[in-house]
Structure 1
Amino acid sequence: MKPIIEYESYRAYMQDFYDQRKRCSAFSWREFSRLAGFSSPIYLKLVCEGKSNLSQIGVERVAVAMGLAGYELVYFRSLVAFDQAKKDADKKRAYEGMMEIANAHKVRVLDSVAFAFYESWRNSVLRELAANMPGAKPSDLAHLCYQKISAEDVKDTLAFLVKAGLLKKTGENSYEQSEKSVRASGEAMPVAVRAMHRQMAEFAMKAVDEIPPTERNITGVTLGLTGRAYQRIVTELDSFRRKIIAIATEDDGMDQVYRLNLQLFPLTRNKREVVR
């Protein structure tokens, strides 16, 4: 499903949300309406078909049902206002609000530089750190990283990020991000991200012993799942990940750079593989 900032119709976004959930579970219009607090089982279907509109209260209920937060929630409100406005001036105002949010939170899709970017944890960490510490020397940035890195490594990494268009140099030791977030293209993603996942999994293991519990949250649960339940959980994790990104980018600046690993993997083979 596309990021919400790529939509210009809230009805299309709701329909895509429904279709995605439907593909992975027994999700229905009745369930969608129930989650949003509507008594009519087909009300949201009618909204998506353009046969009914959302009230202001309805907008908030639907947003909660779809797990929207931060700038995604604000953008969804503007989408509805743009679609349902009766005056051109109101439409223009809503559309300008949409564009402002979209431009501030646009996503850079990595393709040719994906392998180099995901080759080392340094790229994603320093992209966040440098942009939020204008004037900080490479040695200062190196000192802040829990993982060992030299000032020279920091210089090389920043040079790469600037060359790749992921950071813009605005002054002496000052940078800003070209876009709020980045992702690899569908073709590059599987291979390019594996190395990053391995590194971050190792860092998570170290964090159990080296980072105070007040600064980290590491939990887990062991589950017995059917294939259908697995697909539903994957859909929820994807929705949760987008919500976390929205919350994180809602505030300007940052205090620390964190990594959130969402891990769901089998501990056994499928029981159907057992030869009887």
Structure 2
Amino acid sequence: MSEPAAQTVRSFLHDLEEQRQIKILFAVESGSRAWRIESADSDYDVRFVYCRPLKDYVNLARPDDVINAAFDQKLAPCTAHDALYDLCGFDIFKFLRLLAKSNPSTIEWLISNVVYLGPVPPELRAFAEKSFDDGTLIRHYRSMAANNLREMEKRRTFTGKKYLYAFRGLLNAFCVAAFRRLPETDFTHTLETCRQTLGEETYAALSRLIESKKYGRETEDLGRQPLLDEALGKLLSLTETDARAQNAGEEKERCLNAYLQKLLLGEKA
């Protein structure tokens, strides 16, 4: 990612801090640019976590727990649909409640390899790596893949982008199921990790799709790809799970409450 683009993002974030009277704890990239499969015109999916002054929380009117902003190529405010820079932030209370339930988005923010403002709190990243619920993540990533496959079937258009996003979902699910660890943010690393499972022919085909996407050919209709369809079917079988989502649990809540109290009250964890 270019430094001018990163500086632009940081400028937007600092403006939000001043306008909304918040403190941004960390801000990361969460999208194709973090996955290292972006094209030249990919937008910037900026995600951040913020907190407010303590007095704002001691109030009958609950403060907003989500902040959205979007800006176009001319850096002017716009709708999310027209955005080159799409910013979304969660209040720390909302973020931690979701993290306690192994919400995949919150986990991906914590392990993103593109950090605009930070650092990412190491205790929260360690919590995510240690306390995630594998069933929740596997179902989420399988659902992501299924949504992309259904969309291709519905439109009868089979693009490299949709194939890649389906494989990202299923390979992430496979890494959680097979290795009992969080998937890497960088999809090219995940692809390498799963190379033996995929087989050389499928691995090479996906590598070519990544290169095509980088050159802006991501929306070309490729037609059905039997090789890729077969590999997707195999991954669907390998990632089947009947594990139920776990409750947050007292120990998880105690850990996250300790972080929250330290952040807002200055208490020792």
> TM-score with structure 2 length normalisation?
0.23
Higher strand share: 2
Question: Based on CA coordinates, which of the two structures has the bigger radius of gyration?
Answer: 1
TM-score normalised by length of structure 1: 0.23
